[in-house]
A = this chain, B = another copy of it.
Amino acid sequence: MAEYLAPLKDMHFVLNELADLEGIARLPGYEEFGGDMAEAVLDESAKFSSGVLSPLNVSGDRARIRWEAEEGGRVRMAAGFREAYQQFIDAGWNGYSADPEYGGQGLPKLLGAAVQEMWMAANLSFSLCPLLTSGAIEALELSGSEAQKACYLPNMVQGRWTGTMNLTEPQAGSDLAAIRARAVPQADGTYRIFGQKIFITYGDHDMSENIVHLVLARTPDAPPGVKGISLFVVPKFLVNADGSLGARNDAYCVSVEHKLGIHACPTCVMAFGDAGNFGGGAIGTLVGEENAGLKYMFIMMNAARFSVGLEGLGIAERAYQHALAYARERVQGRDISGRLPGNVSISKHPDVRRMLMLMKSQTEAMRALAYSVAAHHDAALRHPDAEARAQSQAHVDLMIPVVKGWLTETANEIAYLGVQVHGGMGFIEETGAAQYMRDARITTIYEGTTGIQANDLIGRKIAREGGATVKTVIAQMRATEAELKQAGGQIKAIGEALGKGIAAVEECVAHILAGYGDDTATVSVGAVPFLRLMGIVCGGWQMGRAALVAQARIAAGDGDAFYPAKIVTARFYADHLLAQAAGLAQTVVQGGASALEIAEEML
């Protein structure tokens, strides 16, 4: 099986031509990441992804992680993962996005997105460990005390210690108000944590010296619901004053889940305060204020949601590479047009070609959309102008549920097509195509299901602000549409399809604004179809921008075959994806009542 190869050409195109990497590299603090440096970072990341992470993807899937009862419950990673992780942190990758103050590289989100995409494509199970650590670092950077930062951040940034997020409990999944884990304050200012958490990614493993658990729990006097949840840091091993590791804390992985995919990633049931190491309770310290835990978690969660969108992108790219390689090499049947002699590779068959183009065009649209949102994220943090920062932040807030929801749902469709391209071989595990489908399946669920994303999109991100930001995006898309329509041929046709897509979005936004609040349930039936529509149209917008750049390059005499291919890929996207827009709008606008009307017992 061929290893993953980072799609550097398209990545550079998106970074430079669509997401303005040079502009980002002019923002304060990002000055070193322009041109050559960006290229060097991507090259090194590509090499590491192909050479170290990718070869462990299949073997990790087969070997899975191993839970052992020793030491109160521990996890052993699949062969090769410990060594790969050591190489990963030795090369300094773990701190790629972290503050240089704690030893991080401080990469712009834009460049970080490309780097993350590679790791996720190469080995999703592996990539989740640094992803969780990054989230924990971010939460501590933003909300931790100076003592907590000094104690944890240097080792976490370096990667000697990893991080986790402990939110879910059996009765508290999407509804965090139902959390029951308890935190009892002690005379010394620490807390004792009691409770069980489930679905804890990398809750235990043998790749790092320590694991820093961030845990949501309730203090004794906390108000009910989400307003009574606090955030605690609970290390696996307590940390002595001199920074050395102390006693084993009462936080154990008591079992692991048997999952459909990401087999090499430990998904743990964590017990806090059950073993009684210290006479009851795991020892933790409060992060920030009491009862403000959810707010801190949501800061992490937004970054995590964006990253899960990138997981979708990574899997989609890899599934495409795998299917394309097979389609090129598998010879079966004759050319239906009769133009080619003898038997041909299946990549020549129209339906296989259609599937490959669906995979390719959507993956490119996903990449362009995700990276452009990452660039806005950088501008929101670093732009010198406050108004520009606010606008970019609003753009990011609007787009995060789209990136999370649309990229992951589409990745599942793409991985599904990848199996189909392989025919019968796709169903055989040794082929490898099925793993992408199994691995992708979690991405529409964790960090908030697609339904949760879609409700966030129509409620908090659109209705609550009267659609201000989405209308700005619509205006930007209309400008691209106008540019496209000024051209002829393919480009004009793309502009026309984009125009119909934008009109569909406008119709839905008006519907959402009119109905949300008065008849929220009916409007909410259309939330996921609307999220899909937003994804398709915003992806089409980016593909339209890409086609305009390609057209300009061709007009300037650039003979690179990449540019005509980009234009025809954008045209395919218009014919096969943007064509769905009007139907989706119809479902959003009309489809609410019939979903709710049926009597529950008649389901």
User: Does A579 contact B575, Cβ atoms closer than 8 Å?
Assistant: no
Bound Cα distance A412, B415 (Å): 13
8 Å CB contact of A587 from B173, B259, B576: B576
CB of A283 within 8 Å of the partner chain:
no
Q: Which B residue sits closest to A330, measured CB to CB?
A: B173
A600–B599 alpha-carbon span in the complex (Å) = 53
Question: Chain B contacts of A218 at CB under 8 A?
Answer: none
Q: A174-B332, A337-B520, A351-B454 are in contact. Are A571 and B594 (CB under 8 A)?
A: yes
Is there an interface contact between B416 and A412, defined as CB atoms closer than 8 Å? yes
Q: Which residues of B contact A583 (CB under 8 A)?
A: 579-583
Give the complex CA separation of A519 and B168 in angstroms: 56
Decide if A351 touches B451 in the complex (CB within 8 Å): yes
- The verdict on A527 contacting chain B, using a C-beta distance below 8 Å, is yes
CA distance A579 to B562 in the complex (A): 36
Say which residue of B260, B332, B360, B429 sits within 8 Å of A173 (CB atoms).
B332
**Of B445, B579, B582, the contact of A591 (CB 8 Å cutoff):** B579
CB atoms of B423 and A174 under 8 A apart? yes
Within 8 Å CB of A449, what residues of B? 420, 423
With an 8 A cutoff between CB atoms, is A7 at the interface?
A: no
**Are A445 and B423 touching (Cβ within 8 A)?**
yes
Residues in B whose Cβ lies below 8 Å from that of A451: 349, 351-352, 355, 420
B-chain residues with CB within 8 Å of residue A173 when the two chains form the complex? 332, 423-424
Measured between beta carbons, the chain B residues less than 8 angstroms from A357 are 594-595, 598, 603
From A234-242, A434-442, A469-477, the one touching the partner chain is A434-442
Query: Given A259-B428, A337-B521, A583-B583, does the pair A591, B565 have CB atoms closer than 8 Å?
Result: no
Q: Is A210 an interface residue (CB 8 A)?
A: no
In the complex the two chains form, is A603's CB within 8 Å of B259's CB?
A: no
B residues less than 8 Å from A208 (CB atoms)? none
Cα of A525 to Cα of B576 in the assembled complex, Å: 11
A514-541 contacts to B (CB < 8 Å): 520-522, 524-525, 527-529
A333 on interface, CB distance cutoff 8 Å: yes
Q: Encode contact with B along A570-603: 1 for CB under 8 Å, 0 otherwise.
A: 0110111001111110110011101111111111
List chain B residues, Cβ under 8 A from A438.
260, 438
Beta-carbon contact of A178 and B575 below 8 Å? no
- Can you name 20 extra interface pairs (CB under 8 A) apart from A258-B430, A419-B441, A564-B599? A173-B332, A177-B333, A198-B424, A260-B428, A336-B521, A336-B524, A337-B520, A347-B600, A347-B603, A351-B527, A353-B596, A354-B591, A420-B444, A420-B451, A490-B594, A561-B599, A569-B598, A575-B594, A576-B595, A582-B582
